[in-house]
Structure 1
Amino acid sequence: MVTKFYQHSLALAFAIKEINESPRILSNVTLGFNIYDSYYYEKMTYRTTLDLLFKSLRLVPNYKCSASKKLLAVVGGLGCDTSIYISHVLSLYKIPQFLFGSCATELRKFPFPYHVATEVTHQNMGIIWLLQHFGWRWIGLFVVDDDSGEHFITMMKLLLPQHGICPAFIEQIGQNRRLNGVTEITSMLSKMCQLFKLSRVSVYIVYGDNRTMALLINIIQALYDDYKELTSMGKVWITTSHIDFAVSRIERHLKLDFFYGSISLTIHSQELPEFEKFLHTVKPDGTLKDGFFKAFWKQAFECVLPDSSDYSLSCTGKEKLDSLPSPVFEMRMTGHSYGVYNAVLAVAHALQALYESQSNCRSVFECRNTEFHDPQPWQLHRFLQGISFNNSAGETWSLDENRGMGTGFDITNIVTFPNNSLIRMKVGRVDPKALDRKKVTLREDLLVWHKAFNQVMPVSRCSGSCQPGSQKRKKEGEQFCCYECASCPEGQISIQKDMDDCSACPEDQYPNQDQDRCIPKMITFLSYKEPMGIGLASAAVSLSLITVLTLRTFIKHKETPIVKANNQRVTYALLVSLLLCFLCPFLFLGRPSKLTCFLRQSAFGITFSTAVSCVLAKTVTVVLAFMATKPGSSMRKWLGKTLTNSLVLSCSMIQICSCATWLGTTPPFPDLDTRSMTEEIVAQCNEGSVVMFYIVLGYMGLLSFISFLVAFLARKLPDSFNEAKFITFSMLMFCSVWLCFLPTYLSTKGKYMVAVEIFSILASGAGLLCCIFFPKCYIIVLRPGMNQREQVLTRKYE
């Protein structure tokens, strides 16, 4: 006999006594009860259920010879299998059955059981929550080898991987199996020892009933004697609601310190002070006399009552229940006993409702059922649906649409003592009716762990934690909980431990060196304040001033032969366009705005095209002038300002039209480039249309190539003031700069692209300025004697 379970019978008796003594419910009705044992055996369960229904002097199934026994409802059983066996019989007679143990939803296929305890689905989710909360990813399972155990294994195999947890092993315990021979026992103990010695597994889940736990206690005690190192090993045991840490006489003196700090999910219960007072009245000389009392008293106090024929140690009759250790008997009402108590109250309130419906009938003929005078079990179902009542603990109980009354599970922490006593401390709650975030609550500060952990939270993992900045990499041939840690790929981060995959930072952020967080990118652009910007701006200003000085020099000496030699207006236009080219970099420097983005490429394209057009016009003038000197040449009529002006205007107008089309359709606009640079956001101008951008560059390149080709062909013409040689060299430099520009521009990023373009503008413009105008300035300023018409004519005919 498991003496602790005798409390279930006492809870039933207490509930009946409370109802019979209460004037508020069933005042004219006296309830009674019968208690039968299932013997943990299906055949006996069926037999005792039939005895309950039909036995008077002898069992005659489906026949009652006496109407004195009025069975209204059945409370039982504790185990799911037992409950199913009982339901097979009771469902035939529509007798209400109240299950006070947690069972799976499969039992709901029977139409008449009512569930006092919450179904095991919520218990399973409570276990998963605990494992996740404490980061336990590598666990062992001990499961009873029966139908409910198979269902538990099936459910956990689905739930555990979904929540990132792996079972290191699943060991089924056949509690009815007998081990034959020393070899089989030794093999079983050796196997269990290996499971306990798995160093990485610190958490065990035990699913079963009291017999499962009793078998484990016996196994561990046997291992303690043979494997002394187990005594120093700490484990966390998580037990399910059917396990009550109840011991029989055989396990009573076994050590329980291995289970110190265990976590148990128990049926929710409340303190009932009156129940503890009732337990103090339970004595051999009391009024409570049932068929189990003598066996209970004998095993609980290890003595026999005086009227017994047994010659063992006689009881004094002064033994007290509160002196017993809690694994033997518990004064505080357990969750299962609380369920029995509330099941009885539910039947009583349903019966009260049935009688009240009878009293509401003004005559027998107005009542549909005259049998209300002699209530039948099946009549209670209508009143049980939707019933709600308050018990003496002040807690409200009601039946829902699924015939469930359960109010969840208590999370308890078990502390054992050297005298093999233990106490349960409530540290949390699993409440399926609460909001999602509050379905499971836990007072972690109240938890105690096994002494081997030194009150440090246990770790149960197949592999160590992967720190932020790394990700898990699965080991081949092992479960997903066993992995290696690998650094995140470049450009990605992991901000938490044990990340399956690294993730990229938002576009406006970048990973830090440890790759465990993102840092905001700095917005960058080619600023006037940085050395590169200062250098380019200074170069642009210097070249602009030089161009202005050159233009002033040419205007001041406009009457000299060297200035007149090749179309003064084209020369002035070339210098003005070069001046504008040297000012274009200021549109590229600084943070891009709508105006600068709108103007920069078009202004650069138009001014450079004008400059190259002027160079082309000057080159064509040189060629035509030479050809016109030949006797009878018809080229003389082409000489003059009309041709050069038309050439400059037409070539420039084509570029102007291209830029106008570009700005009118897809104009450039300010943009932020978050991808090109790892640690910076580049403030840039989006060109709008890349095609138009390259058309503008391509046209400028075409003009440059034509100018270079014409100048190259005219480089050896016999003229003292032949500019073709200088133009050839200047256009060679010009073309070289822009040919180098394209690959360099495409291979750079961020502000360096802008710097490359500015440098190309300044370098090509400086090439034109130096090669075409510096030789003339040298003669004008330093060698004025060479700037004479006589000198020119002398050279011309030498």
Structure 2
Amino acid sequence: MYVVMRDRIKSEKCEGTKVDSTNYIDGLRHKDLWILSISTDFLVNIARDLQNFYVPSSPAMQAPPPQISYGASDPSLSDRLLYPHVFRMVQNNHIHNMAISELLEHFGWTWVGIILSDDETGEIELQILINRGSCLSLQIPVSRCSDQCSPGSRKKTRETIHSCCYDCDPCSEGEISNITDAENCIKCQSDEWPNEKRDRCLPKVLEFISYQNDTMASVFSGVSVFGCLVTGFIFRIFISHRDTPIVKANNRNLSYLLLFSIILSFLSIFLFLGCPTDVTCRFRETSFGIFFSVAVSSLLAKTVMVCVAFKSTKPGSPWRKWLNVKLPYTIVLLCSSIQVVICVIWLSISPPFQDFDTQSYPEKIIIQCNEGSDICFYSMLGYMGLLAAVSFVLAFMVRTLPDSFNEAKYITFSMLLFCSVWISMIPAYLSTRGKYMVVVEIFAVMASSIGLLGCVFFPKCFIIMFKNEKNRKTDLLGKRK
């Protein structure tokens, strides 16, 4: 019998002698029994070397001698195919680990600190405990019960007995996490939004009708310029034929004023394009209100003059005293001044201003104009609608008066279109958000301007350019009844 003692191995290590299992085998191969009180690694090496020295034809080494250990506890030594001649006097670590896991489960311990060797054996022991549902903390505090939560997610505790076991939930909308195993997500600032992975906050997209990257800005600009050019062309026609009956009929100066207000209405569209500022917001909301009030007041004055002119034809009519130059201008000045006063009060007490809407859409910021005072805004629209309604009713009443150049029927159509546009604009304006609110306003301004221009002036331009024989005073007098 030969015994390799643990203290002998230690003494050789202290003396600097290299411990080699082959040295023992050369001198001890003829012994009958080996008792090895050494580590698992050394025992494995000796067992393999003895297996190599096994010579079936040799009487002395027909089989490797048995090796008995009272210190090696690695579970792999229980493999009879690899280590048929290794025996030990201690249980393997697997049984110990199973006993430990049973103990943890019995006492309900869910967070345990364990020191293990940093090798394959320690990893195997760790996996045994993890498979039983325990959460373990090693040389650094890291949970091994669950996979690590990547950036963009946070830990969520499972509804189990082990409170340290968790799932990984993606960060909520508007939140990020930029570290592994984050306990909580971080909310981005009001002007930022998470990227797709939700591990970084990015500046929100700014939304407005931009000249650079928005097709609508180009379309509206083109329509506005085209409308101005067409209106200017009609203006030039009227000035060139200012002495003809069709231009002189029903106050040509009111026609000039109406054309000029339509040009300004087309130009006001540019105040709605581009990034809003406090200045453009103030002019945007008030300009089209004043311009359209002047236009509708001009049509109202034209309609009143048609009515007065017809009633004054009767002998001794009291309406004759109203047939003077001052009446239509007084109507235009008075009706327009009321709208100007409303707008001045609006700008004085609570003017429109640039506003940043961060709530309507989570991923972008809407740069828009805040009306400031809703009462003033809807008062301006309401008064403009009142003028249009009065003009429509009055024009409808006098549309059948016998006059070859009676504009009342054209004013009726223009006011019907005008009222329809602005009545439908209000619910559409209230039901949209962002730049599409501006689109609704622009569409209302464009449609109203085109309606006034087409209904009132296109018929006259057609007669001037293509039916000049009807543009005579004799024709005007001859068709009166």
Q: After TM superposition, is the score higher than 0.5?
A: yes
- SS of the residue corresponding to residue 717 of structure 1 reads coil
Q: Deviations over 1:606-627 (max 9, x none)?
A: 1111111111111222222233
- Cα deviation for residue 524 of structure 1 reads 3.6
Question: Do 2:176 and 2:198's aligned partners in 1 also have CA atoms closer than 8 Å?
Answer: yes
- SS of the residue corresponding to residue 243 of structure 2 reads coil
Could you say which residue in structure 1 is the equivalent of 2:85?
none
Could you say which residue in structure 2 is the equivalent of 1:508?
191
Q: Deviations over 1:449-485 (max 9, x none)?
A: xxxxxxxx79535544443334455545656544444
Could you say which residue in structure 2 is the equivalent of 1:637?
321
Q: State whether structure 2 residue 380 is matched by structure 1 residue 691.
A: no
- SS of the residue corresponding to residue 595 of structure 1 reads helix
Q: State whether structure 2 residue 450 is matched by structure 1 residue 558.
A: no
Could you say which residue in structure 2 is the equivalent of 1:544?
228
Are residues 189 and 576 of structure 1, via their aligned partners in 2, closer, same or farther at CA, if it must alter by over 3 Å?
closer
Q: Which structure carries more helix by proportion?
A: 2
Q: State whether structure 2 residue 415 is matched by structure 1 residue 706.
A: no
- Cα deviation for residue 196 of structure 1 reads 6.4
- SS of the residue corresponding to residue 331 of structure 2 reads helix
Could you say which residue in structure 1 is the equivalent of 2:112?
204
- Cα deviation for residue 190 of structure 1 reads 7.5
Could you say which residue in structure 2 is the equivalent of 1:584?
268
Equivalent position to 1:234, from 108, 121, 126: 126
- SS of the residue corresponding to residue 612 of structure 1 reads helix
Q: Deviations over 1:86-111 (max 9, x none)?
A: xxxxxxxxxxxxxxxxxxxxxxxxxx
Which stretch shows the higher mean deviation, 591-600 or 552-561?
591-600
Q: Distance in 1 between matches of 2:324 and 2:242?
A: 18
Q: Distance in 2 between matches of 1:493 and 1:712?
A: 64
Q: Distance in 2 between matches of 1:600 and 1:231?
A: 72
Question: Do 1:581 and 1:765's aligned partners in 2 also have CA atoms closer than 8 Å?
Answer: yes
Which stretch shows the higher mean deviation, 474-483 or 601-610?
474-483
* Aligned residue identity for 1:747: S
Match runs of 1:1-12 below 5 Å:
none
* Aligned residue identity for 1:541: V
Could you say which residue in structure 1 is the equivalent of 2:450?
766
Q: Deviations over 1:18-58 (max 9, x none)?
A: xxxxxxxxxxxxxxxxxxxxxxxxxxxxxxxxxxxxxxxxx
- SS of the residue corresponding to residue 635 of structure 1 reads helix
Q: Distance in 2 between matches of 1:189 and 1:733?
A: 88
Gaps of 5+ in 1: 1-187, 207-212, 214-228, 238-261, 264-446, 448-456
Match runs of 1:174-573 below 5 Å:
192-195=100-103, 204-205=112-113, 232-234=124-126, 460-476=143-159, 478=161, 480-499=163-182, 502-529=185-212, 530-573=214-257
- Cα deviation for residue 556 of structure 1 reads 1.3
Q: Distance in 1 between matches of 2:185 and 2:400?
A: 68
- SS of the residue corresponding to residue 584 of structure 1 reads helix
Are residues 633 and 470 of structure 1, via their aligned partners in 2, closer, same or farther at CA, if it must alter by over 3 Å?
farther
Are residues 647 and 195 of structure 1, via their aligned partners in 2, closer, same or farther at CA, if it must alter by over 3 Å?
farther
Q: How many residues align?
A: 373
Q: State whether structure 2 residue 430 is matched by structure 1 residue 746.
A: yes
Q: Deviations over 1:331-376 (max 9, x none)?
A: xxxxxxxxxxxxxxxxxxxxxxxxxxxxxxxxxxxxxxxxxxxxxx
Could you say which residue in structure 2 is the equivalent of 1:676?
360
- Cα deviation for residue 702 of structure 1 reads 1.6
Are residues 696 and 501 of structure 1, via their aligned partners in 2, closer, same or farther at CA, if it must alter by over 3 Å?
farther
Question: Do 1:494 and 1:503's aligned partners in 2 also have CA atoms closer than 8 Å?
Answer: yes
Are residues 504 and 234 of structure 1, via their aligned partners in 2, closer, same or farther at CA, if it must alter by over 3 Å?
closer
Question: Do 1:202 and 1:460's aligned partners in 2 also have CA atoms closer than 8 Å?
Answer: no
- Cα deviation for residue 191 of structure 1 reads 6.2
Q: State whether structure 2 residue 402 is matched by structure 1 residue 718.
A: yes
Please report the TM-score for the alignment, with normalisation by the length of structure 2: 0.69
Q: Distance in 2 between matches of 1:497 and 1:690?
A: 49
- SS of the residue corresponding to residue 367 of structure 2 reads strand
Q: Distance in 2 between matches of 1:520 and 1:642?
A: 60
Are residues 782 and 665 of structure 1, via their aligned partners in 2, closer, same or farther at CA, if it must alter by over 3 Å?
same
- SS of the residue corresponding to residue 356 of structure 2 reads strand
Equivalent position to 1:792, from 458, 471, 476: 476
Are residues 474 and 555 of structure 1, via their aligned partners in 2, closer, same or farther at CA, if it must alter by over 3 Å?
same
Q: Distance in 2 between matches of 1:540 and 1:510?
A: 36
Match runs of 1:595-614 below 5 Å:
595-614=279-298
Q: Distance in 2 between matches of 1:527 and 1:511?
A: 24
Are residues 661 and 482 of structure 1, via their aligned partners in 2, closer, same or farther at CA, if it must alter by over 3 Å?
same
- Cα deviation for residue 502 of structure 1 reads 4.3
Question: Do 1:720 and 1:795's aligned partners in 2 also have CA atoms closer than 8 Å?
Answer: yes
* Aligned residue identity for 1:669: F
- Cα deviation for residue 690 of structure 1 reads 2.7
Q: Distance in 2 between matches of 1:231 and 1:515?
A: 33
Could you say which residue in structure 2 is the equivalent of 1:302?
none
- Cα deviation for residue 768 of structure 1 reads 0.5
Question: Do 2:98 and 2:128's aligned partners in 1 also have CA atoms closer than 8 Å?
Answer: no
* Aligned residue identity for 1:560: T
Q: Distance in 2 between matches of 1:673 and 1:706?
A: 38
Are residues 480 and 569 of structure 1, via their aligned partners in 2, closer, same or farther at CA, if it must alter by over 3 Å?
farther
Are residues 483 and 710 of structure 1, via their aligned partners in 2, closer, same or farther at CA, if it must alter by over 3 Å?
farther
- Cα deviation for residue 788 of structure 1 reads 0.9
Identical-residue share of aligned pairs (%):
49
- Cα deviation for residue 592 of structure 1 reads 2.6
* Aligned residue identity for 2:409: K
Question: Do 1:202 and 1:459's aligned partners in 2 also have CA atoms closer than 8 Å?
Answer: no
- Cα deviation for residue 513 of structure 1 reads 2.5
- Cα deviation for residue 501 of structure 1 reads 5.0
Question: Do 1:628 and 1:636's aligned partners in 2 also have CA atoms closer than 8 Å?
Answer: yes
